[in-house]
Homo-oligomer: A and B are copies of this chain.
C-alpha cells in the first residue's frame, strides 16, 4: 500500500501548501500522462543551480573544471537515489502495476527522478529560496564531506570519480613503451575512457607518474569536449 504523502513531507522537513504538487512529484510515468517528468525537468535545473552556487561560494579558488567535477560527484543518479533511500521515498512512489511488480520503487533512476521532481514541486509551492534551504539541508553531509582540499585530488582519482559519477567503466591505462637506462627510464602510458573517443598519452619517470599525466590530459580533454 502506498503511504500517505503527508508523512513523507513531514519526514523531509517540508510542508506543502498544495499537497497535490507533492503527489504529482511522486507519480511515475507508468501511471500515465499526469506524471512527475515535467517537475523533474524543473527540479533538475534548480538542483544544478543551487549546488553550483554553493560550490562557487565554498571553494573560491577552485577552477571551473574542479567545480564541474565537484558538482558531478555530488549530483548524479547514484547520490540522488541514495538520498531518496535514506528518506524512504520509494515507499511513497505512485507506480503503474508493471513497474510495481518489477520493483520500480527500488530502481535508482526512478528514485533519483523523484527527488528532482520533489525539488520542482517545492519550487512551484514555495519558490527558489525554500528550494535552496531544502537542497542545502539534503546535501549537508555530502557538502561537509568535501573538504577544502578535496578538489585538489590527484588526476587519477579525479578521473576515476568522474567515471563513477557517470556510471561508466573505469579508465583503462596501458603501458605502451619503456625506454632508457635503468635509472633514467621513461614510461609511456595511454589512458582510455568510455566518455571520450580519443586516447590520451602520458609520459613520466615512473609508471605511476606517467599514469597521472595521462589522466590529467584526459580530464582536460573531457572538460574541453563539454563546451
Chain B hits for A113, CB < 8 A? 227
Quick check: is A46 within 8 A (CB to CB) of the other chain? yes
Given A77-B227, A227-B77, A227-B109, decide whether A64 and B41 contact each other with a Cβ distance below 8 A.
yes
Contact of A64 among B37, B109, B227 (CB under 8 A): B37
Comparing A49-57, A88-96, A211-219, the segment that makes contact with chain B is: A49-57
Binary B-proximity of A148-169 (CB < 8 A = 1, otherwise 0): 0000000000000000000000
Chain B hits for A53, CB < 8 A? 42, 45, 123
Copy count, this protein chain = 2
Quick check: is A174 within 8 A (CB to CB) of the other chain? no
- Chain A interface size range: 20 to 34
Across the two chains, which residue of chain B brings its CB closest to A40? B64
Contact check, A68 vs B56: say whether CB atoms are below 8 A apart.
Answer: no
Chain B hits for A62, CB < 8 A? 38
A33 to chain B, nearest CB (A): 9
Across the two chains, which residue of chain B brings its CB closest to A224? B109
Quick check: is A103 within 8 A (CB to CB) of the other chain? no
Q: Which residues of A contact B (CB under 8 A)?
A: 37-38, 40-42, 44-46, 48-49, 51-53, 56, 62-64, 67-68, 77, 109, 113, 123, 128, 227
A-B interface, 5 closest residue pairs, ranked by CB to CB distance from nearest = A37-B64, A45-B52, A49-B49, A45-B49, A41-B64
